[in-house]
Amino acid sequence: MRTLQTDVLVIGAGAAGLCAALAAAPRRVLVVSAADPRLASSTALAQGGIAAPLAAGDSVEAQMADTLAAGCHSSDRRAALRVIRGAAEAVSFLCDLGVHFDRDALGWRLHREGGHSRARVLHARGDRTGAAILSALLAAAASSEHIDLLSGLQVLALREGPAERLCGAWAVDGAGEAVRLEAHETVLATGGVGRLFPSTTNGRAAEGDGLAMALGHGARVAGLEFVQFHPTALAAGADPLPLLTEALRGAGAVLRDGHGERFMVAMHPLAELAPRDVVAREVWSRRARGESVWLDATGVFASEHAEEFPAALALCRAHGIDPLREAIPVSAAAHYHMGGVVVDTLGRSTRSGLWACGEVAFTGMHGANRLASNSLLEAVVCGRTVGHALAREHNPQRHIRVQIEQEVPPPLHTDAQISGQVRSIVGRCLGPVRRGSELEQGGRDLAALRAQLAPGALLERRRLELAQAMVRAALERRESRGAHWREDYPQRDPAHDAA
Ligand SMILES: Cc1cc2nc3c(=O)[nH]c(=O)nc-3n(C[C@H](O)[C@H](O)[C@H](O)COP(=O)(O)OP(=O)(O)OC[C@H]3O[C@@H](n4cnc5c(N)ncnc54)[C@H](O)[C@@H]3O)c2cc1C
């Protein structure tokens, strides 16, 4: 069995994990990821961009107002303020690393997305923003002496050390061998939970592992019921479903029903640019009734905006659709998790030695619904906050080994079939429109599945327990708020508003 020792272990090599690792210098950091992050992180897939109040006439207060409105009276104001105040510095940090955000003759070329009251979303390489950010962060990590980066290590469990402190993790490598990762500090940066759903825009890595492990080790979690669905995934039968960025609607694309009518105009004053939950619910409900929904971007692709959407154009063409001439079939798909591991202002979880940042963390900023393009921002700002806090605690005298007496590796069995069944149960009861009876049935189905689980299939057990916790949270929230919509409780209950 291999043992790797490090001072700080970062699990996940997306925007959050890499920002934490870079900022943690001079501490020795090992970043591990289950797969090549260029192929398997949400960061690599992010198209739309990163929101920052950089335009003349825009302000931190204006982005705050939009963030709180999208969050539906549930956001933690102080967390949102901290992140949005950090936006300008985050953008200049990324620029210094070589990210070329798109500009025009007037300065930043800013885009408008759903829920934003003005254009404030920066793109890089058109709609390939996430990939541009990730490649700059990976290059910086590769040239940083304090960082080692290993992909192909799937973390299965955290290590319980002396004095109730977590001290690293257990992983399995590509050959199926156990690897012990010894560390003084462990940072979860494992991204979201989209893969718990049958229809998702999230790639392979977003299985909810970090959140499931934190839950299993008794860290406090919150907001589990709040899952954002993206209204315009390309209905191509692929897995994951390719995303058609919201910026297309910002540039003028419209949603049409099977008769060619624009249905969102009657639903919300902002029509197609209404908050995501509103648009996603409408798209989902129509498709659940057997209707088709189409994104008409012909006007966008015929305009000067066309060059801003190379990824969307390529995606459509790869699926035999010519978006210059025809509307694109779309459906709603699980996209972003507002819930996560509860962290304090520095990113510390409630378990000693365990930190979290990015989508796996719950800062409270997004409340019941994330504002578009606030998540890359949060990943960069909070990742760096965690890294800086770790750097401040640097102690060069500290011994690198963290040994535990009589430590036994966790079982390494897998039970792939169970994951498929969890996905279909979750898809039936935790979609954008929920009902108490379906949630109760989902809870019973998950409990029955748990009884069939192969002994020792640790990761699958954790994922199943996470799904159960999400169903419980959705059942207990007897109201509709943001991304959590209960048909049996359609009103918001002001008693649950954030103070
Ligand atoms: C299609 C798509 C488009 C998006 N567009 C935007 C956008 O335009 N703007 C925006 O702000 N947000 C967008 N988002 C959301 C945003 O991309 C994510 O919230 C953000 O990138 C999350 O970053 P992260 O570092 O927390 O996680 P990720 O980038 O997902 O990285 C997670 C890392 O954890 C690793 N990992 C997971 N489980 C394990 C395990 N068990 N063991 C080891 N490693 C593990 C993965 O391999 C990966 O390296 C989009 C998301 C998707 C899916």
CA neighbor of 186 nearest in space, from 170, 207, 171, 169? 169
| Mean pLDDT for back-to-back runs of 10 residues, the chain (499 residues) | 94 98 97 95 91 95 95 96 98 97 90 87 90 97 98 95 93 93 97 96 93 97 97 91 89 96 94 88 93 97 89 93 96 97 98 98 96 96 98 80 75 83 96 97 97 88 97 98 96 92
Task: Confirm or reject: Cβ of 250 under 6 Å from ligand 1.
Answer: no
Cα 220 from Cα 343, distance rounded (Å): 8
Query: Do residues 372 and 120 lie in contact, with contact meaning Cβ atoms separated by under 8 Å?
Result: no
**pLDDT of 402:** 66
Domain 232-333 has CATH 3.30.1360.170: no
Give ∠ CA 101-206-370 in degrees, rounded to 5: 55
Report whether 361 contacts 340 (CB < 8 A). Answer: yes
Whole-number pLDDT of residue 455 = 82
pLDDT at 259: 96
- Evaluate: CB of 14 within 6 angstroms of ligand 1: yes
> Residue 380 has which token pair?
């960069």
Q: Which CATH class is domain 2-225+338-392?
A: alpha beta
Collapsing DSSP to helix, strand or coil, 470 comes out as helix
- Name the pairing type of β-strands 8-11 and 185-188: parallel
Taking each continuous run of H as one helix and of E as one strand, the counts in the chain are 16, 21
Parse the chain into domains and list their residue ranges: 2-225+338-392, 232-333, 416-496
pLDDT at 236: 85
Give pLDDT, residue 47. Answer: 82
Cα of 349 from ligand 1 centre, angstroms? 19
Ligand 1 atom closest to residue 44's alpha carbon, by position in its atom list:
29
Q: Which residues contact 466 (CB under 8 A, 6 or more apart)?
A: 193, 196, 208, 211, 212, 215, 224
Contacts of 397 (CB under 8 A, 6+ apart): none
Task: Given CATH 3.90.550.10, say whether it is the number of domain 416-496.
Answer: no
pLDDT tens column, 81-131? 999 999 999 999 999 999 999 998 888 999 888 788 899 999 998 878 999
* Side chain identity, residue 114: G
pLDDT of amino acid 414: 78
Q: How far apart are the C-alpha atoms of 290 and 286, rounded to whole Å?
A: 7
Q: How far is the CA of 14 from the centre of ligand 1 (A)?
A: 6
Question: Do β-strands 178-182 and 185-188 pair in parallel, antiparallel, or remain unpaired?
Answer: unpaired
Q: Ligand 1 centroid to 189 CA: how many Å?
A: 9
Q: Which residue in 28, 125, 159, 276 is the catalytic one?
A: 276
| Residue 421: both structure tokens together | 């069944």
201 is written with which tokens? 């825009």
Beta bridge partners of 342: 362
Q: Are strands 227-234 and 154-160 parallel, antiparallel or unpaired?
A: unpaired
pLDDT at res. 114: 78
Compute the distance between CA of residue 365 and CA of residue 360 in angstroms, rounded to an integer: 13
Nearest to 471 by CA among 60, 186, 196, 178: 196
CB of 32 closer than 6 angstroms to any ligand 1 atom: yes
Please name every residue paired with 472 in a beta bridge, in sequence order, or none if there are none: none
289 is known as an active-site residue? no
Asked if residue 446 lies in contact with residue 471, where contact means CB atoms within 8 angstroms, the answer is yes
